[in-house]
Amino acid sequence: MTTPSNGDARLLAMRLLAPALAAVSPQALLRAALRWDGYTLHAGGQQYDLDRIERAVVVGAGKASGGLAAALEEMLGPRIAAGLVVVPSGGEGAPRRIRLQEAAHPVP
């Protein structure tokens, strides 16, 4: 039996870890926590009839908020009227209806 090289071991580890990391990504967890049937948003045991809501606005902040905003926009699309999400510089996500504002912690 041959011993794998460091490169082979690294490649194997990445192949094994990639699906696990994807499953616990904030976007994947959001998609698992919310269900959208085209009319009603189901979240946390509650139901929200978006036909009865005049304007749906998304507000958020934090490291994962850009990706979460993009995932929410992908799910709800034109139901989102607008939004503002504060993200760290170089954050991920590129929603079209939700504005991303880069910010950082102040230096003490």
Domains in the chain, ordered, with CATH? 6-102 (3.40.50.10180)
What average pLDDT score do residues 8-18 get?
87
What pLDDT does 77 receive?
92
CB count within 10 Å of CB 66 equals 24
Tens digit of pLDDT for each residue in 35-51? 999 899 999 999 999 99
Phi, psi of 84 (to 5 degrees): -140, 125
pTM (two decimals): 0.74
Mean pLDDT of 17-45: 88
